Amino acid sequence: MLKRITSARSVQVAAGVLIAAYLKLVYRTSRFTIEPPDIYERIDREQPVILAFWHGQHFLTPFIKRPYHRARVLISRHRDGEINAQAAERLGIGTIRGSGDTKGKFHVKGGATAFRAMLQSLEQGINVALTADVPKISRRCGLGVVKLAQQSGRPIVPVAIATRYRKVMRSWDRAAVNLPFGPGAAVAGDPIFVAADADRDGLEAARLAVEQALEACTARAYEIVDGPAR
């Protein structure tokens, strides 16, 4: 019964509206530190870019977009994904529907169509955002984002956003639900390019570079909001 209820279009739209409104509240009542301070100047020089972040740490990513930026985000076709898509669109982010790579099988769950749509978006000068981790394996970067960079020629920019007040869920992705009225941090790493002729070893090296950069950005974001770990 719960699945039928959450699959109803009216319920998905209403949930998306409520989530978007809540995230606006969190963003507007949080005091954000941006690192590095000139990140927008750096990104603007490289646009369009591929923004990569960890699953479960992504709720506030729509707010890193500036009014002059065009952006689309990859969201799954799952019913929960439809709610996320409704929220994203109300926050000014276009959507591309489909899942990331599942053991390299881009044909699964609309992955091939989504991959082509991301390539087309980048060709049109539109930034693309997606989670980098392998589905159901937290904090392990998959090859999907790396292959997208290889085929598009556009750089990957690792991003992490954190707030001091949060609720960490007991889910596979350790999703952090951001809470309002506290300090926040948005941290970006250096752009990572992937050579068009990269072989298997080159792709693996790029994958590890993205994974390590995301871990570093995440650690730094939490250090800013929570203070240095003891």
- Which pTM does this prediction carry? 0.91
The answer to whether 39 touches 93, Cβ cutoff 8 Å, is: no
The answer to whether 86 touches 15, Cβ cutoff 8 Å, is: yes
Cβ atoms < 10 Å from Cβ of 165? 15
Q: Provide CATH code, domain 2-226.
A: 3.40.1130.10
C-alpha to C-alpha distance for 161 and 192, rounded to whole angstroms: 19
Question: Residue 72's pLDDT is what?
Answer: 97
C-alpha to C-alpha distance for 148 and 194, rounded to whole angstroms: 9
The answer to whether 183 touches 164, Cβ cutoff 8 Å, is: yes
Burial string for 83-121 (b: 16+ CB within 10 Å, else e) reads bbbbbbbbbebbbbbbbbbbeeebeebbbeebbebbeeb
Find the angle CA(190)-CA(196)-CA(198) to the nearest 5 degrees.
85
Cβ partners under 8 Å of residue 58, min gap 6: 131, 161
Whether cis (ω within 30° of 0) applies to the bond prior to 48 is yes
| Region at 92 (left for phi over 0; alpha for psi -120 to 50; beta for the rest) | left
C-alpha to C-alpha distance for 32 and 87, rounded to whole angstroms: 21
Within a 13 Å sphere around the CA of 66, how many CA atoms are in the beta-carbon half? 8
| Per-domain residue ranges of the chain | 2-226
Q: What DSSP designation does 192 have?
A: B
Provide the residue-wise pLDDT of the chain in tens; the chain has 230 residues. Answer: 555 555 687 889 999 999 999 999 999 999 999 999 999 999 999 999 999 999 999 999 999 999 999 999 999 877 678 899 999 999 999 999 986 554 545 445 558 899 999 999 999 999 999 999 987 888 999 999 999 999 999 999 999 999 999 999 988 888 999 999 999 999 999 999 999 999 999 999 999 999 999 999 999 999 999 998 64
